[in-house]
Structure 1
Amino acid sequence: MEPVSILRSRLESLLLVADEATSPADFARVLETSETQVAEVLVEIATEFSDRGMGFELRERGGLWRLYTRRENSATVEAKILDGTQQRLSRAALETLAVVAYRQPVTRSQVAGVRGVNCDGVMRTLTLRGLIAEVGVTGDVGGAHLYATTDLFLEQLGIDSLEALPNLAPLLPDVDSIDAADQTD
């Protein structure tokens, strides 16, 4: 086993280059050390970053670890990111994303039923941006594709789970009633 300071240095380097949240087991495999030791160092790093009020933080979600910008700095980071370099989502995209987030998994026709307009193009845009993804097909004949929000969606909102969304679901029509309306047309 190598000294903790060397392990920590190497682990911090891996955290900086990781493009997705990573498990202690994956870090341990790369670092050729124990998962327990990696987990301990991850907690140590996260605690130190938090105590020092660093501009970034190390968060654990679902057993996976990743560096993030500090939540308190989100307005500043957003201003930089949106400063002419990225296009904001259109109102149609935001509406579609809200329907998917609150009623997932949903089909395109269910989303269109809630919005009252065709949403194929918007669904493609949200998929390309990585905010929603296909998660399966319905059990019906011909099986329509089912969509749900992604981890990137949660990251962009700065939340850990969909339970942190405001309670708007009662304001949206039930997906089953939309399906029933489609079948009577």
Structure 2
Amino acid sequence: MSTSHELLAQLEAVLMVVDEPVTVTELATALELDESDVAEGLQELVKDYRGETGSRTRGFVLRETGSGWRIYSAPEHDQIVGKFVTAGRMARLSQAALETLAVIAYRQPVTRGQIAMIRGVNVDGVVRTLLARDLITETGFDGPTGATLYKTTRYFMERMGIESLDDLPLLAPALPPIEESAELEELVSHQISRPREPVADPLSNDPGQAPEQP
């Protein structure tokens, strides 16, 4: 027996406004329905969005992550969506922040010195921005240097629509390796963080961040 159109419509209405994954229990409570009915409805929406019920395929999918259900753009349209988000007026992170986030995602856990070695610029401002937006978090200290280590958060995976870091596209081999020498890291960090003419950072509102080199 198929789920009623009314229930499917109610589920869609809620899923369209959530800004983080929502659980079956939360949906059932909001709709005042049994969890089994909600779970059945979610599975029917999954099939519907995939075009398995006779309707056309959609530009979005309904996916369950570790913390609940949410609608995401379809993976096959990632390139188009990425261009729109990063190049258009909808961009929420600067190119510098996106590049830094990519380094952390594929090389985590990493220190700011290690990130700076790969990018060749001061990353203090963008790291603060990523921390403030809960995309990365501190995760202990590097043994040889005592520097703070950073990794991506659960929220980052939710925004990416992935269940684990293993689901990230195969990009890591394209990144340069991290130099293991503590002395070199200290040297590079010192060189990159040398005082420069203060320039306003539009992301972190930190007027003293050194500018990135082109």
Is TM more than 0.5 here?
Answer: yes
1:64 equivalent to 2:68? Answer: yes
1:72-93 C-alpha deviation (Å, 9 max, x unpaired): 3444444554334437743x54
Per the alignment, residue 6 of structure 1 pairs with 6
- C-alpha distance in structure 2 between counterparts of 1:55 and 1:165, whole Å: 19
Which residue identity is paired with 1:23? T
Q: Kindly indicate which of the two structures has a greater share of residues assigned to helix.
A: 1
What are the equivalent positions in structure 2 for 1:18-167 lying under 5 Å apart?
Answer: 18-51=18-51, 52=55, 53-62=57-66, 64-81=68-85, 82-86=87-91, 89-90=94-95, 92-115=96-119, 117-128=121-132, 130=133, 132-138=135-141, 145-150=148-153, 153-154=156-157, 160-163=163-166, 164-166=168-170, 167=172
* TM-score normalized by the length of structure 2: 0.63
Q: CA deviation at 1:170?
A: 8.3
Aligned partner of residue 17 in structure 1, secondary structure: coil
Q: Which runs of 5+ in 2 are unaligned?
A: 191-214
Q: What does residue 177 of structure 2 align with?
A: 172
Alpha-carbon distance change, 104 to 56 in structure 1, aligned in 2, over 3 angstroms: same
Q: What is the RMSD of the two structures over their aligned residues, measured on CA atoms?
A: 3.6
Identity of aligned residues (%): 38
In structure 1, the residue corresponding to 2:16 is in which secondary structure?
Answer: helix
Give the direction of change, closer, same or farther, for the CA distance of 1:42–1:83 in structure 2 (3 Å limit).
same
Give me the TM-score of the superposition, normalised by structure 1: 0.70
Aligned length: 177
Change (3 A) 1:149 1:12: same
